[in-house]
Homo-oligomer: A and B are copies of this chain.
Amino acid sequence: MKRLELIGVEGIGEVARGDSIGRLICEACAREGIAFTDGDVVVIAQKIVSKAEGQLVDLAAVQPSPRARELARELGKEAALVEVILGESRGIIRTGARALVVETHHGFICANAGVDQSNVGKRHVALLPEDPDGSARRIGEEIHRETGKKPGVVISDSFGRPWRLGTVDVAVGISGIKAVKDERGLKDSYGYELKAAVAAIADEIAAAAELVMGKRDGVPVVIVRGCETEKEEGSVKELLRPVAEDLFR
């Protein structure tokens, strides 16, 4: 019987700049009696990774540019926040209805460049990690040092979507797994060769973990057990659609 299990890791506590997320996870797992097994994938909410990496900005210390002020007025947003978002962005994809959808320096297209005010304290905002695949790799190595096991790592964030309401968590950084599962060329039971069969499993793993995490910060880490993933080193860049193939820019 195919089974998948998701285990929420509580008790990580407040994360500060310089903390080793891998070590914090291992300590919390030890307290909760959770032992890593081969093939586990650890999903980590972006927020605690950003905190550990010092990716927080005090909005009071930000000088908004004239452009940020103007855009802020248009969108009904705070100018300092818009300044921070623009600093994280390669370009603006759409504005409207209080929404600012940009392409981040990593190549993600999302609202507000992933800059987020929740769970970081009232005047601060959290940025995405600078190199989220690198963050995931480092955390995987920390867990390996502590436990001898090397789980896959997915760093997740909640993204909105065109056409559908509500956020769904996606992968913003991965390590130790491939981002997609490509079943193209395999045949179904009728002999038909599968064509559109590339599943973004890193994103599906992130989405699954959100069901356990929720939006507050009590469960920032989820262990996914029993998932069939390819164990080679992957990158979230596998999930970025090339500009020329994208109909929605």
Give me the interface of A with B, judged by CB distance under 8 Å.
1-8, 10, 32, 34, 94-97, 99, 101, 108-109, 111, 116-122, 158, 160-170, 179-181, 183, 186, 188-192, 194-201, 203-205, 207-208, 210-212, 214-217, 219, 227-228, 238-241, 245-249
Known interface pairs A166-B200, A186-B216; 9 further A-B residue pairs with C-beta atoms within 8 A, sorted by A's residue number: A1-B7, A116-B196, A160-B196, A164-B200, A164-B240, A168-B168, A188-B217, A199-B215, A204-B211
> Dominant SS at the A interface?
loop
CB pair A227 B211 closer than 8 Å: yes
CB pair B186 A247 closer than 8 Å: no
Q: How far is the CB of A194 from chain B (nearest CB, A)?
A: 6
Closest to A33 in B: B1
Q: How many copies does the complex hold?
A: 2
| Contact among B162, B168, B179, B246 with A207 in the assembled complex (CB-CB below 8 Å) | B168
Given contacts A3-B7, A208-B211, A216-B188, contact A197 B165 (CB under 8 A): no
How far does the alpha carbon of A239 sit from the alpha carbon of B165 in the complex, in Å? 5
Closest to A229 in B: B211
CB pair B2 A163 closer than 8 Å: no
Q: How far is the CB of A186 from chain B (nearest CB, A)?
A: 7
How far does the alpha carbon of A41 sit from the alpha carbon of B245 in the complex, in Å? 36
CB pair A164 B194 closer than 8 Å: no
CB pair B99 A247 closer than 8 Å: yes
How far does the alpha carbon of A239 sit from the alpha carbon of B160 in the complex, in Å? 11
CB pair B195 A118 closer than 8 Å: yes
How far does the alpha carbon of A190 sit from the alpha carbon of B125 in the complex, in Å? 12
CB pair A4 B5 closer than 8 Å: yes
Q: Which of A208, A238, A249 has most B Cβ within 10 Å?
A: A208
Given contacts A119-B192, A163-B240, A165-B200, contact A2 B219 (CB under 8 A): yes
How far does the alpha carbon of A200 sit from the alpha carbon of B96 in the complex, in Å? 22
List residues of chain B with CB within 8 A of the CB of A197: 118, 215
CB pair A208 B219 closer than 8 Å: no
CB pair A216 B196 closer than 8 Å: no
